[in-house]
Amino acid sequence: MGHGDRQEFAFPCPKCSVELRFRMTLDRSAGSWEYVSVTGAKWVTEGIPPEPIHVRNLDGESLVPKKLKEMSPFMATVVSLDDPVLYLRDHESRFQVALEVWPTLNHLIVHHSTQNSVLFDQTARSLGYEGSLQNWNERLKVKLLLFPHFLQYFRPFTSSEEALIRQRINYAESLVGNQLPQVIQTLVNAYPDDKLVTEIQRVRNGFMRIFPPISGIYQSLYWNKTNPSYSLEDFQLAEKRFDELKSMYIDCFETLGRISVIAATIEGVIQFGVPIVPTAKGNMPTSTFQTMANGSKPDILKQLPIANIFVSVMDCKLRNGVGHNSANYDVRKDDISYSNQNNKGTQ
């Protein structure tokens, strides 16, 4: 079932040679539904076509097992969930944020950039914010509160990583004391003109656009942990949007590399008491690390306590592969291939 008020379902029945269509009207607010009388049903008495040999059932919101028989993808995959109720609740919340809340959050950014206090306050109240809105410092806090609040639905089961990040920041602040303005200024100098903020927002917008067709991947996060046999290699998505995913992954990789500059500098504050980046041979200025190629940053990040948050998801080989203009997606084989030419020939 999709995310609309009205859905039309068709149920072919080869054995009794009849196709029925009906309309179900859902009322989400009242939690009720209604079936509309079947009209236009036609019994087929002759010229019955043979039963199809290959039938593929697709569901844009569920993982689709590659070896799927006469069963919907949802019914085939729901048994793999550790807590189906939790998954369905979070699934609904993610769609609501992506399709309904996110456009309003973008309005909040526009109203903040244009300093339109009236529209900003109206938008903040519509999102459920009840705090004070007396000046622009308080309105900035609204952005810092609302975005993490709604985006948390897209990163379930990451509370330990979030706790580690907050712990490292608080530890650095306690060590640096009155030198905090110097640390802040060092990071501000590394990212002039709010370029990093703009990048992050662009990545978020791109993710929200592509979220519906990739939403099924979230099922894997809710798999029953006691069954190690579940693997994403046994599933596929109903829609294969390689071009969009390609640009999305590259943007995420590059932006995460730039965000890592902040994390690495905080680790420098913890180790040396000043805003620098720790390295195997000592340290380097934050500005130097910032200008380093993002593909080279994992080599330095892997030595730091926050390494797993960045290095585990910064696959340089994958980024370079899909980043090539020669990268091609084969729909039939479900494979990505690309050619690379150098002095050893073409690979």
pLDDT in tens, 33-59: 666 666 666 666 666 666 666 666 678
Percent of the chain with pLDDT over 90: 56
What 73-82 contacts at long range (C-beta under 8 Å, 24+ apart), as own/partner pairs, is 73/216, 73/238, 77/219, 77/235, 80/219, 80/223, 80/224, 80/227, 80/230, 81/219, 81/222, 81/223, 81/224, 82/222, 82/223, 82/224, 82/225
pLDDT surpasses 50 at 11: no
Q: Is the pLDDT of residue 284 over 90?
A: yes
Please state the pTM of the whole predicted model: 0.78
End-to-end CA distance of the chain: 44
Question: Where is pLDDT greater, at 21 or 27?
Answer: 27
pLDDT at residue 8 in the model: 41
Spans of all domains in the chain: 1-53, 83-154
pLDDT at position 248 is 92
Mean pLDDT, the chain, integer: 85
Q: pLDDT for 209-232, tens place per residue?
A: 999 999 999 999 999 888 778 888
pLDDT of residue 116: 96
